Structure 1
Amino acid sequence: MAMVTKVVRLCRLAGRTVTSLSVTHRQAVSLPARICYISTSTGNKLQFKLDEQTAHSSLDLFKKDTAVIYRMLGLDPSYVPHNPERFRDWAVVFGNEKISSGRHYWEVTVKKSQEFRLGVAEALMSREDCVGTNSSSWVFGYAQRKWFAMTSNKIVPVTLVGKPDRIGILLDYQAGLLGLVDIKKPTIIHTIKVQFKTPLCPAFGLWDGELLTHSGLEEPEGLK
């Protein structure tokens, strides 16, 4: 079993760097009664778009809010409408669907990116944290030409992945499973096991290039 190690790296953000050597756990945000998420998903074939109201000012959505591109300078945060759902310090965006049960599968096309994170987070996760740095988010990340699984600011190296142009994410809420899927075989490369207790959202972090999401997909046959 790979050894769990503390994350020691620099995380780029809107033209400056933030050291993620030590992260203080924060309480979940108190979001207003009017929330932008569309509905609560309980079945399969999850269909979602990216939620502009959560997107950091360095992230631009396109392709009818199914894709995101990182802008090094981004928008001046003072020009971005303020709301408690938006990430102000980290280049993160959520999907606009909450998941409270079921088994779901989606894919992500990666273009010109050498640093990103893909996974899920609690819908009420603190917007002051980055996905993967707290106990409210679970992601697979890629940086420095290496893959890793990450939660609570700890990482586990993920091997035998390489740099695919398209990757799958499998979520089984009741089983407490988040899987990284090689869509060419198809097979689950690595799993994160956790007992989910609150509604989740698809979550994405991006520090260069662009990501295109593909939802509403059938789960490939043979994944267990």
Structure 2
Amino acid sequence: MAMPVSAARLCRLAGRTVSSVSARHRRAVSLPARRRYIYTSTESNLQFKLDERTAHSSLDLFKKDTGVIYRMLGLDPSHVQDNPERFRDWAVVFGNEKISSGRHYWEVTVKKSQEFRLGVAESVMSRDDCVGTNTSSWVYGYAQRKWFAMTSNKIVPVTLVGKPDRVGILLDFEAGLLALVDVEKPRIIHTLRAQFKAPLCPAFGVWDGELLTHSGLEEPEGLK
């Protein structure tokens, strides 16, 4: 199936959950597998878990909060602890670390999902929005068997043959760079450029299956 030309249509196809339409829940934020290649050294390797406080009620965390699984029905939002950091309308969860400097790399096992987004977002991004639809988030997504880059509700197709089991995300805060990485080569598949002005969190949206994150990794050699 061809990539939709409308970003809004793609968001409808890949995001809003069955229990997400109630306006009373809308609010804003107040606030490791073996490697076949050599890594370069870095001063510190970002290590994070998924933050349950931000997770939409359709998402369950597992494997010590490093994985997330989508439940179509999910929990009744009234049974989930109420806090302003939780996403109310979209199946999104953030990592629990804020990034305000440096160059960082992590990987995500995606083989058990056919509809997801991976990237970063400002930690104070509105919880009424979905990642990729505003100027506060930058993501790579997969839907309808197509890859795309997305920010500010604008979609750019990403050429990628097939669907790997695992991909990498490279973030360089000062350089304003977010890249999707082929972990087998390794090589950069696509780069998003931005001016990051506020602390960022790893960000994930999933509307099918599950994702598993792998952090605390060093950047593969040859990506610079």
TM-score of Structure 1 vs Structure 2, range by shorter chain: 0.7 to 0.9
Tell me what 1:181 maps to: 181
The answer (yes or no) to whether the contact 2:111–2:164 under 8 Å persists in 1 is no
Runs of at least 5 residues in structure 1 that lack an aligned partner in the other structure: 19-26, 32-42
Alignment match, 1:103 = 103
SS of the equivalent of 1:132 reads: coil
Q: Distance in 1 between matches of 2:217 and 2:59?
A: 25
Amino acid at match of 2:222: G
For structure 2, the 5+ residue unaligned runs are 22-26, 32-42
- Return the offset for 1:121: 0.0
Q: Percent identical across equivalent pairs?
A: 81
Q: Which residue of 2 aligns with 1:157?
A: 157
Q: Is the 8 A contact 1:120 1:202 kept in 2?
A: yes
Which residue is equivalent to 2:24?
none
Give the root-mean-square deviation of aligned CA atoms.
Answer: 1.7
CA deviations 1:120-166 (Å, max 9, x no partner) are 00000000000000000000000000000000111000002421100
1:12–1:127: structure 2 CA closer, same or farther, 3 Å change rule? closer
Equivalent residue number for residue 213 of structure 1: 213
- Report the residue type matching 2:17 in the other structure: A
Question: Map of 1:1-224 to 2, 5 A cutoff?
Answer: 6-7=6-7, 8-9=9-10, 10-15=13-18, 29-31=29-31, 44-224=44-224
Paired residues of 1:6 and 1:153 also in contact (CA < 8 A): no
Q: How many residues are aligned here?
A: 201
More strand by share: 1
1:93 Cα deviation after fit: 0.1
CA distance in 1, matches of 2:92, 2:54: 8
* TM-score, normalised via structure 1 length: 0.86
Distance 1:161 1:193 in 2: 23
Describe the SS at the equivalent of 2:14: strand
Conservation of the 8 A alpha-carbon contact between 1:171 and 1:178: yes
Give the aligned residue type for 1:143: A
TM-score, scaled to structure 2: 0.86
Q: Give the structure with the higher percent helix.
A: 2
Q: Secondary structure at the match of 2:110?
A: strand
